[in-house]
């Protein structure tokens, strides 16, 4: 089965909460050790559409440690499809790319400059009949897939749903999937990504427009930046709750939530659900020994 959602649990995190604030996390990272978390959900309807269109090759873009790239490679292999990854930068044999290649993905390295003009790259390969997926899975199908994250468990008792936001696709999906009385909050992991709200709104039906909040104070210097303070937090969180997080997304998400609780950001009583969106494979870009898990 492609999505082994039976492995997902709701884990309570007593050390993050207080007497008025209960905190839990939906562990979508448990789906698979490498291809973990939200990328599975974001891809499911793209795969269906590709099959419907009788495209047997999926192509997309990503960096050398991209969760999205390795998820596409695995999803294609499981579905008997071919995959092509356009990778930003010079040739690199990161564990992520080696894994993607082992899963059958054909890799093309493109310079950082050329990477900015994806339409040009897509134009060069237009005659191949490939099914293209945006970087990070951004798009309506991605959001619809992410909406199904909230169907894995009964999430109706939570007052707030909190996630990390890169392209905002998962955030849009959670807004679609949430009840009217639930607040949905996205923690931006990119610096000064003030276009994020618009990116999310584009994916939402009009009646859900702006039915979410984004917070921009917890990027720790920017995308894929991980100061020592963040690494220390990850180790400390793991010791407290046996909860592994990744350096790009979920560490910032849990840090932010904990900080917001301390600042009394949430109305009380609150019952928070933090979406653990996976991404643990990306920690392989760290020097060994920096994490205790
Ligand atoms: C890609 C990713 C996100 C961000 O998802 P978007 O839909 O791009 O906002 C969050 N967490 C993890 C672990 C991811 O891999």
Which domains does the chain show, CATH number per domain? 5-35+142-285 (3.40.50.1100), 38-137 (3.40.50.1100)
Tokens 């969760």 correspond to what residue?
67
Asked if residue 252 lies in contact with residue 164, where contact means CB atoms within 8 angstroms, the answer is yes
Asked if residue 76 lies in contact with residue 106, where contact means CB atoms within 8 angstroms, the answer is no
Tokens 């979920």 correspond to what residue?
250
Question: Cα(80)–Cα(83) distance, rounded to whole angstroms?
Answer: 10
Asked if residue 108 lies in contact with residue 82, where contact means CB atoms within 8 angstroms, the answer is no
Other CB atoms within 10 A of residue 183 CB: 17
- Ligand 1, from 38, 176, 190, 199: best to mutate by most atoms within 8 Å of Cβ? 38
User: For ligand 1, atom 4, which residue shows the shortest CA distance?
Assistant: 166
Instruction: Note the Cα 172 to chain centre separation in Å.
Output: 12
Question: Cα(31)–Cα(56) distance, rounded to whole angstroms?
Answer: 25
- Ligand 1, from 37, 197, 204: best to mutate by most atoms within 8 Å of Cβ? 37
- Tell me, using a 6 A CB cutoff, whether residue 28 lines ligand 1: no
Question: Cα(101)–Cα(109) distance, rounded to whole angstroms?
Answer: 13
From first to last of its 293 residues, the chain has per-residue pLDDT tens of 456 889 999 999 999 999 999 999 999 999 987 777 899 899 999 999 999 999 999 999 999 999 999 999 999 999 999 999 999 998 888 999 999 999 999 999 999 999 999 999 999 999 999 999 999 999 999 999 999 999 999 999 999 999 999 999 999 999 999 999 999 999 999 999 999 999 999 999 999 999 999 999 999 999 999 999 999 999 999 999 999 999 999 999 999 999 999 999 998 899 999 999 999 999 999 999 999 99
């Amino acid at each position: 089965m492609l999505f082994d959602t039976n492995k997902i649990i709701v884990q309570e995190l007593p050390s993050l909460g207080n007497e008025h604030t209960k905190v839990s996390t939906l562990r979508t990272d448990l789906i698979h050790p490498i291809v973990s978390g939200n990328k599975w959900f974001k891809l499911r309807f793209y795969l269906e559409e590709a099959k419907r269109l009788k495209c047997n090759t999926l192509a997309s873009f990503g960096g050398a440690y991209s969760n999205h790239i390795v998820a596409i490679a695995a999803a294609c292999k499981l579905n008997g499809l071919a995959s092509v990854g356009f990778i930003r930068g010079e040739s690199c044999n990161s564990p992520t790319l080696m894994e993607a290649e082992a899963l059958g993905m054909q890799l093309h390295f493109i310079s950082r400059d050329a990477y900015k003009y994806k339409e040009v790259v897509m134009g060069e390969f237009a005659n191949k009949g490939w099914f293209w997926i945006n970087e990070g899975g951004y798009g309506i199908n991605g959001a619809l897939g992410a909406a199904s994250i909230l169907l894995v468990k009964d999430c109706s008792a939570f007052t707030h749903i909190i996630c990390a936001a890169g392209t905002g696709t998962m955030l849009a999906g959670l807004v679609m999937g949430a009840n009217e009385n639930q607040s949905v909050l996205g923690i931006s992991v990119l610096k000064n990504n003030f276009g994020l709200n618009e990116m999310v709104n584009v994916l939402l039906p009009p009646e859900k427009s702006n039915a979410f909040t984004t917070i921009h104070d917890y990027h720790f210097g920017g995308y894929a930046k991980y100061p020592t303070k963040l690494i220390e937090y990850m180790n400390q969180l793991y010791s407290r709750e046996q909860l592994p997080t990744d350096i790009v997304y979920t560490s910032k998400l849990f840090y932010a939530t904990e900080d917001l609780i301390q600042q009394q950001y949430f109305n009380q009583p609150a019952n928070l659900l933090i979406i653990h969106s996976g991404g643990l494979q990306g920690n392989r870009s760290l020097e060994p020994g920096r994490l205790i898990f």
